[in-house]
Amino acid sequence: MNETAPIISIRGVTKRFGPVTAVDDVSLDIRPNEFFALLGPSGCGKTTLLRMLAGLEVPSAGAILIDGHDVTGVPPNRRPVNMVFQSYAVFPHMSVFDNVAYGLRVVKTPAGEIEPRVREALAMTQLEGLAARKPDQLSGGQRQRVALARALVKRPKVLLLDEPLSALDAKLREAMQLELVRLQHSVGITFIIVTHDQNEALSMANRIAVMEAGQIRQVARPAELYEYPNCRFVADFIGKMNLFEGRVVACEDARVHIEVKGVGRLALPADQIVAPAPGSEVGVAVRPEKIRLHREPAPEGRVRLRGRVSEVAYFGDASHVYLVLEGGPKISANLQNEARTAVPGVVAGDELWCSWDPNDTLVLTR
């Protein structure tokens, strides 16, 4: 796709804290001008990886290249990257202007150059008029803008953002997501964001690396990650997922037959699946929004199962319907509330059919 040289190249990087391995032999290339997200549950090593890019942690093994230069042992103050900290770390004893100017002053930028560059950064982050304020006179969102302006004024090759939106309330968070994307377009540099919030990653990033236990499980574009997760962890971590365990019983007629516990035998088109050998244990997964509910038996050609509604969670635009299948397992389906009605169409206790297109089924070997 994009064959330009990577702006950041992480090669076999491991970080150990005493007996704990926080980052375990990670290799990853990040391309210029990408909005890249490191996504994972807390404790997966994503922040440690980001801090190693900033130079705030030194890898126990491996190498980090920024723009082709090995920076593995280079201290943070001599790297062409800047960081927006989770706590913002806006200096409380300096005004907004001084905070933003700090990074220019410490590297002895000519005095005449400082003021225009600070003004430019303040304008970019919509902080004009607040230059004289002290941080304790700012809201959380404004403090974050100061942290952003302070990093961007340095014109880094890569901007690192450590959970930048976690301390904001939901409304502000959504607005900041859009603004960060806009900002990334306008400054045209690589953004690397660390987040545990999959919605944040899916809506903002061009590519996402999902991390678990210090390792990268999958690197993909958002839609690919959502629709084609490569392992049970990613499938379960991103979005909602109905995940069953099964065993491959046969491969014939371009179909893979899988015996799923409590569900029965499914025949799935083989071209969707990376040929699992008969006898192997696999995860069988389907997204709730891919499932339809029917009063009558569903049409031929779809995966059809019968069950009884156990719960209906109403969300206004949609309802989540939980079915207990005849074989025992639970399955959830999304029901779009398309027609206006005050009386829900589906209630607990209903006997229903659910069905989905076999092509929407995921078979996970890991």
Summarize as ranges the residues that interact with another protein (CB under 8 A).
54-56, 75-78, 82-83, 85, 87, 89, 91-93, 102-103, 106-107, 150-151, 154
Q: Which two tokens stand for residue 79?
A: 């790297």
d(CA 5, CA 30): 9
Place of tokens 């109905």: 242
CB of 56 to another protein, least distance (A): 5
**Residue 165 or 216 having the CB closest to another protein:** 165
Helix axes 111-124, 170-187, angle to 10 degrees: 130
**Residue 135 or 283 having the CB closest to another protein:** 135
d(CA 90, CA 85): 9
d(CA 247, CA 189): 47
CB of 119 to another protein, least distance (A): 18
CB of 227 to another protein, least distance (A): 37
**Residue 5 or 89 having the CB closest to another protein:** 89
CB of 31 to another protein, least distance (A): 23
CB of 90 to another protein, least distance (A): 8
Cβ(207)–Cβ(37) below 8 Å: yes
**Residue 109 or 337 having the CB closest to another protein:** 109
d(CA 292, CA 298): 9
CB of 233 to another protein, least distance (A): 30
**Residue 54 or 65 having the CB closest to another protein:** 54
Q: What is the DSSP string of 163-208?
A: STTTTS-HHHHHHHHHHHHHHHHHHT-EEEEEES-HHHHHHH-SEE
Strands 242-252 and 190-195 come out as unpaired
**Residue 153 or 323 having the CB closest to another protein:** 153
